A and B are shown apart, each in its own frame.
Chain A
């Protein structure tokens, strides 16, 4: 069965500092990989996605992520965080392999706190 692990439940970063959020996945084939962000009281918004090709993908809001097959990882990075980046971040893998569906399996999320 596929799974996603986000090892850090909470991360605190100073405004202007760099950020890396970790994501490890388990999947039986070539995965589709995603990062979503959830602001308080909001739904999830797609930050970026990897389907194939270049392993470094660029997303919205200045985020990027790198797919490393050998490490089964898809870490999210940002060179300089802003206070508005404080949110919950979810890594996801798909298509969902149960019953042939094409939904996503999500990690439990990383709560990002920005210190002034």
Chain B
């Protein structure tokens, strides 16, 4: 158990819909990262937050957004969903900046029909 909690574990929805994925980082970790894992693209870095502020963006679509709340949990919002958004979405956390050692949740599997 990494200490990172993600909900829901599985989600099935239709094209055009909007979903929210939730992540609770390990106790004491200030950084939260979101990754998308798909068969063709592998693990792609989406976005990072540190102590409530956006720190960096990776390959995140404009239809996607995220935020980190004062209690440090984070949410990833995916809107206008397309078939190609079907993937496993991982949240990871780390204790400090420039540490690089990430602790991953078990992921949220999104299926868009």
Point out residues on A near B: beta carbons under 8 Å.
Answer: 32, 34, 36, 41-46, 49, 51, 90, 94-96, 98-109
Contact = CB atoms under 8 A, between A and B. Distances in A.
Contacts of B92: 44
Interface stretch (B14-22, B41-49, B65-73, B77-85): B41-49
Contacts of B97: 102
Contacts of A98: 45, 56-58
A82 B58 CA distance: 36
Contact of B55 (A100, A106, A107): A100
Contacts of A46: 101-103
Contacts, number: 74
Given A102-B99, A102-B100, A45 B2 contact: yes
B2 A90 contact: no
Contacts of A102: 31, 48, 55-56, 94, 97-100
Contacts of A107: 42
Contact of B4 (A32, A36, A43): A43
Contacts of A90: 43
Contact of A103 (B2, B48, B103, B105): B48
Given A49-B101, A95-B100, A43 B42 contact: no
A103 B106 contact: no
A37 B12 CA distance: 27
Nearest to A32: B100
A105 B45 contact: yes
Contacts of A43: 2, 4, 90, 104-107
B106 A41 contact: yes
Of A45, A51, A102, A104, the most chain B CB neighbours within 10 A belong to: A102
Contact of A44 (B56, B58, B94, B104): B104
Contacts of A45: 2, 104
Contacts of B106: 41-43
